[in-house]
Amino acid sequence: MTKRKAGPGADLFHARLSGQDLSGTDLHGANMALANLKDCKMAEARLGGAFLFAANLSGADLSGADLSNADLSEADLFGANLAGANLHGADLRRANLSVTNLRGARLSDSNLRDTILKGADMTDAQLDGADLTGAVLDEDEASA
């Protein structure tokens, strides 16, 4: 694989970065579509406006990360830690957010259409203005 540099606006399309430590890295506006970021440490990373379409972020630690206005549509975030993350205005349509930790996450004005949120912990998450049309929640919550 060609070595590609991580940083603001970086081209990390389809990059294989699973398990890497990218904590606190500035990747705002980066193209990370289709990237494999499984189990990456990305706490406090700056990913505002990043393009993460269909990225594999399962098991990643994104606690406190800035993902505002990022495109995470079709991304796999199964089991990811998004506690305290800023996802304001993020596009998460059809993303898999099963078993994610979204405690205290800011999801205001985000697009959560058709997302899978089974088993997600959304305690204290801010959801004002979020579009949850077609989102799949826990059966208990859906029937409550």
Partner 1 sequence: MPQMNEQVRLLVGLENLLVKARRRFRECEREEPGEQHPRAAQYRQVIERISDEMRGADAATFKAYLEYLESTLLPRMARKVDETLDTMVEQAARIVDERHHLNEMRAEYTDALDRIRTVRERLGRDPFKPQNVKFGLGTHPPHADRRLRDAFDLVKGYLRS
> Quick one: which of 51, 65, 76, 115 contacts partner 1 (CB under 8 A)?
51
- Which C-beta is closer to partner 1: that of 61 or that of 74? 74
Rounded-to-integer distance, Cα 124 and Cα 135, Å: 18
The answer to whether residues 58 and 36 touch, using CB atoms and an 8 Å cutoff, is no
Interactions with partner 1, residue window 95-124 (CB under 8 A) = none
| Candidate segments 58-66, 77-85, 91-99, 135-143, binder of partner 1 by CB under 8 A | 91-99
Q: How far is the CB of 61 from partner 1 (least distance, A)?
A: 25
Rounded-to-integer distance, Cα 110 and Cα 95, Å: 12
Q: Binding mask 1-40 vs partner 1 (x if CB under 8 A, - otherwise)? A: ------------xx----------------x-xx------
* Residues contacting 22, CB < 8 A, separation 6+: 6, 37, 40, 41, 42, 45
- Which C-beta is closer to partner 1: that of 34 or that of 127? 34
Rounded-to-integer distance, Cα 12 and Cα 6, Å: 7
- Which C-beta is closer to partner 1: that of 73 or that of 110? 73
Rounded-to-integer distance, Cα 26 and Cα 24, Å: 6
C-alpha dihedral, 22 to 124 to 52 to 20, nearest 10°: 20
> Quick one: which of 8, 44, 54, 121 contacts partner 1 (CB under 8 A)?
54
Binding site for partner 1 (CB under 8 A): 13-14, 31, 33-34, 51, 53-54, 71, 73-74, 91, 93-94
